[in-house]
Amino acid sequence: MARHCIQWRYAIGGAVVAALAVAMPQAVAQEATPDSGAQLRGAFPPDTGRMAPSPVVPGPTLPANTTVVPRAPAADGTVPTGGQVNLVALLTVDGQRIDKGLVWRIFASARDPRAAPNLVMTKREASPTIELDPGEYIVNAAFGRADITRKIVVTAGTASSEKFVLNAGGLKVKVMVGGVEPAANTVTYDILSSERDQSDNRVRVLAGAKPNVINRLNAGIYRIASRYGDANAKVEADVTVEAGKLTEATVTHSAARVTFKLVNRLGGEALPDTQWTVHAPDGELVLQSVGALPTHILAPGTYSVTAKSAAGVYKRDFTLANGEVSQVEVLMQ
């Protein structure tokens, strides 16, 4: 399978943060398998209501990115029994704050380590300030497909600020066919992480993504698996997403467009209700369709097509070149 990838990277700045913040909603619509560790890629997409995993930051010791100050008594002199927490998300350790597109999920730690934590609240503000009872909580900050999960400790009568560094970047994919961008809705691509599942397959981070859309991801190495059309015109390319940067990748497809036609004489009318099957030279099934004049996009190469109608079954071999637009007639004989 061919691989093409051209990348440009730009240092972090306000424009990049803004671009990541307004990425298309589909970038957060799919669910991915979480990994173990402080950062869970796509573990909690918006509105799934999933429970968080076991705590990823142990012990009651406050992390270095926690600031705690005593809370002043209320106007009536009563001392607050709970704690106040302000949640802040950063793209990088020394980067600027993320001011939109965030989803916060706060879970109460379960006393039984075998039990799932309970979802306490969900916030969609950029930097919410929340009131919590004293205790340990697990907080997940999600920014598109980038997220981080860690434990916080809330103390009675204190106000704290919790910083979450997502180490997030953006990936924008441009697709070219024959030197031009293809028609809308003819290309989709999946984004796969470098991690492997139990079957040694790459973990899918995002499925069915559209070109020219910024996808917000944790920093790391990803594979783009792009498909043009509904058959075998596919391209794969590896890209690196860096924290605080926008990576733009261009993938180029080689493809041909072919229309099939079953006729009783060359140049004749197409016969209706025809079932079509296309195989590669090694016998691999490429596609199946039904119709008088089905049109498909295929990778360049040699194929065998079978047309099945009420009158019988007919076959023909054909070859397609890159960029070709062809009509393949199958003669009933």
For 233-284, how does the pLDDT look when each residue is reduced to its tens digit (9 = 90+)? 999 999 999 999 999 999 999 999 999 999 999 999 999 999 999 999 999 9
Give the CATH superfamily of 168-253: Immunoglobulins (2.60.40.10)
The Cβ of residue 291 has, within 10 Å, a number of other Cβ atoms equal to 13
**For the chain, what are the domain ranges?**
27-165, 168-253, 256-331
d(CA 213, CA 24): 6
Q: pLDDT by residue (tens digit) across 142-157?
A: 999 999 999 999 999 8
Structural fold of domain 256-331: Immunoglobulin-like (2.60.40)
Quick check: 146 and 140 in contact, CB under 8 A? no
The reported pLDDT for the residue numbered 235 is 96
For residue 166, is pLDDT > 50? yes
pLDDT of residue 75: 56
Provide the strand spans (E) within 110-242. Answer: 118-123, 129-132, 135-143, 146-154, 158-165, 168-177, 187-196, 202-209, 214-218, 220-228, 233-241
Q: Which residue has the tokens 């012990």?
A: 59
- The residue among 170 and 114 whose pLDDT is bigger is 170
As beta bridge partners, residue 296 has 258
Task: Calculate what percentage of the chain has a pLDDT beyond 90.
Answer: 68
Gap between the Cα atoms of 194 and 60, Å rounded: 33
Is the pLDDT reported for residue 213 higher than 80?
yes
SS3 at position 258: strand
CA 291 → CA 258, 308, 309, distances in Å? 14, 11, 10
A 10 A CB-CB count for 254 gives: 17
For residue 105, what are its two tokens? 């999920």
| The pTM of the whole model exceeds 0.75 | no
Percent of the chain with pLDDT over 70: 76
Whole-angstrom distance, CA of residue 232 vs CA of residue 279 = 11
Q: How far apart are CA 137 and CA 56, in angstroms?
A: 11
Q: What are the Cα distances from residue 207, in Å, to 82, 109, 174, 189? A: 42, 32, 16, 7
Fold of 27-165: Immunoglobulin-like (2.60.40)
Average pLDDT (100-120) is: 91
For the stretch 29-81, pLDDT in tens is 333 333 323 332 333 333 333 333 333 444 334 455 666 555 555 555 555 67
If you search the block for the tokens 């926008």, which residue do you land on? Answer: 246
Determine the Cα–Cα distance for residues 279 and 264; give it in Å rounded to an integer: 23
CB contact set of 51 (below 8 Å; sequence gap of 6+): 107, 116, 117, 118, 119
In whole angstroms, give the CA distance from residue 255 to residue 34: 35
- 27-165 against 256-331: fold identical: yes
